[in-house]
Amino acid sequence: MPTVDQAEGQRLEYKREWTDRALEDLAAFANTDGGTLLIGIRDDGEVVGTKADDRELQRIANLIAAHLGITPKIEVVNLEGSPIVKIAVEPAAHPVAYGGRYLRRVGVTNRDFALGELARHILARSGRDWDGLPGEWSVGEVDGEAIAHFARLARNRLPHVDPAQPERVLENLGLVHAGKLNNAGILLFARRPQRLFPLAQVRIGIFRGSHILDSHDFQGTLWQQLDGAMERFRQVLKVRFDIRVEEPSLEGLQRREVWEYPLEALREAVANALIHRDYTYPADIQIRLEEDHLEVWSPGELPPPLTPQALYGPHASVLRNPLIAQAFYFAGIIERWGSGTTRIVDLCRGQDLPEPEFTHWQGGVRVILRKDPYTPERLRAMGLNERQIKAVMYVKEQGALSNRDYRRLAGVSDETARQELTLLVTQGLLEIQGKGRATHYVLAKSGD
């Protein structure tokens, strides 16, 4: 018997004959990228043909319309001398159910939408954004202090905003319609939005390995969540003071706070999470403070065409929640044009910290900021002696170190210098470059 070469896949399914199971395939096609069902071909590609008179085609069309509510293109094609019924389905504008189930096509299988996926699918197909959907609460739920707080923040960009007229403020921001707040209006300005959206919060935990030392949840409006997170950082992160002498007088002493992580970078990361997270995803924003790094995880992966790698440089601004983003922009917390992640990168580089990591992880976006691995305290905790610490700090400042440099700094013999430098290489702090008399040591790439 003749066979076809193309295998079944994301948009193609074979059936030896019509059965009601074909309705599942058509529903899954309609809920995904569309597809084609060919009746009269076995799963292995063997062409066997099928009944294809007008009465049979009308029966199939009626079944599809009755069970799925869609009208695909149905035609008969001749393949290897046998009649084949070809049913082509376009992506549906609205979810298509079959037998009470909503299916999507994944490879050659049909799968039920996971929890939360159906809501996101409906939004994507309707062309609407979650934050613009009408909510259940009236403007009577608005917190006047939240409006006043926004007015103070937005003074530069919205100099004429009047907190004494909250409904006009909401209307100008597109957050109210017919007296009802939309989802963005609730999260930004309602009293205790968690009564309606319990997972719209920020959770900060302090970890040592698998042990949780402390955990705090920050609720309220998005402004309150951001402020609460930043206050928590100031409470638990270490800070040192960089004293610089601009001129020989008390007034010439300049004191600068240097935190373990740049606070402005953390503010950008938390603001981005609040603005761009997927609020249909059943999780809160989670921030982990580990011994040597800090993680910010936000529910929902980046919307296409953005990728984690694109976040390191100039990239398009693709907004999942445009109304929330607009309010944060007017408040002066963010800029337009997707500059937040590049600002995080620049701030870390400016403090000589390793480059932040942006990744998709467990259904969300994770940002990892790492501490400076080359501080005297961290090096001392690793068991280095003072000579080795001095050498590492020299490489950090000068870029490279030779055996001769080490002997000069530490006042040791050639053999001792070689042994102690070899130990720094073994511990992954330095690496060797060059050969012979040109041999020198630089910071290991793993610590950059």
**CATH code for position 437:** 1.10.10.10
pTM to 2 decimal places:
0.74
List, for residues 404-441, the tens digit of each pLDDT value. Answer: 999 999 999 999 999 999 999 998 899 999 988 889 99
Residue 3 lies in a domain: no
Domain match, 120 and 133 both? no
Q: Please write the tens of the pLDDT for every residue from 1-36.
A: 577 889 999 999 999 999 999 999 999 999 999 999
Looking at the domain assignment, is residue 106 inside a domain?
A: yes
| Domain termination site, one of 372, 397, 430 | 372
- Residue 90 belongs to some domain of the structure: yes
Question: What is the pLDDT at residue 150?
Answer: 97
Predicted local distance difference test score (pLDDT) of residue 118: 80
158 and 241 share a domain?
yes
Distance CA 385, CA 168 (A): 66
CA angle 116, 121, 123 (to 5 degrees): 100
Residues 78 and 62 occupy one common structural domain: yes
Give the bridge partners for 86, in sequence order: 38, 75
CA 183 to chain centre: 20
- Is residue 380 in a domain? yes
pLDDT for the residue numbered 30: 95
The residue from 83, 100, 125 where one domain ends is 125
166 in the same domain as 103 = no
User: Considering the domain boundaries, does residue 344 fall inside one?
Assistant: yes
Tell whether 133 and 108 lie within a shared domain.
no
Q: Are residues 49 and 152 in the same domain?
A: no
* Same domain for 351 and 384: no
Q: Regarding beta strands 430-433 and 101-106, do their DSSP bridges make them parallel or antiparallel, or are they unpaired?
A: unpaired
CATH number at residue 103: 3.30.950.30
Regions of the chain with pLDDT less than 50:
245, 446-448
CA gap 31, 136 in Å, rounded = 28
Rounded CA-CA distance 339/211 in Å is 35
Tell which residue, 227, 240, 137, 236, has the closest CA to residue 189. 137
Please write down the HEC assignment for all residues of the chain: CCECCCCCECCEEEECCCCCHHHHHHHHHHHCCCEEEEECECCCCEECCCCCCHHHHHHHHHHHHHHHCCCCEEEEEEECCEEEEEEEECCCCCCCEECCEEEEEECCEEEECCCCHHHHHHHHHHCCCHHHCEEEEEHHHECHHHHHHHHHHCCCCCCCCCCCCHHHHHHHCCCEECCEEEHHHHHHHECCHHHCCCCCCEEEEEEECCEEEEEEEECCCHHHHHHHHHHHHHHHCCEEEEEEECCCCHHHEEEEEEECCCHHHHHHHHHHHHHHCCCCCCCCEEEEECCCEEEEEEECCCCCCCCHHHHHCCCCCCCCCHHHHHHHHHCCCCCCCCCHHHHHHHHHHHCCCCCCEEEEECCEEEEEEECCCCCHHHHHHCCCCHHHHHHHHHHHHHCCECHHHHHHHHCCCHHHHHHHHHHHHHCCCEEEECCHHHCEEEECHHHC
Does some domain include residue 381? yes
Pull the structure tokens for residue 285.
């924003």
Residues 163 and 274 both lie in one domain:
yes
Compute, in degrees rounded to 10, the torsion defined by CA atoms 345, 347, 348, 349: 80
In a domain, 2, yes or no: no
Q: Are residues 208 and 353 in the same domain?
A: yes
| Domain-embedded: residue 207 | yes
Domain encompassing residue 366: 128-372
| Shared domain check, 382 and 368 | no
Total structural domains within the chain: 3
- Minimal CA–CA distance to 219: which of 268, 163, 298, 285? 285
User: What is the pLDDT at residue 341?
Assistant: 95
pLDDT computed for residue 287 by the predictor:
98
Verify that 367 and 385 share a domain, yes or no.
no
Q: What angle do CA 315, 276, 28 make, to 5 degrees?
A: 95
User: Which of these three, 125, 148, 167, is where a domain ends?
Assistant: 125
Residue 386 and residue 280 share a domain = no
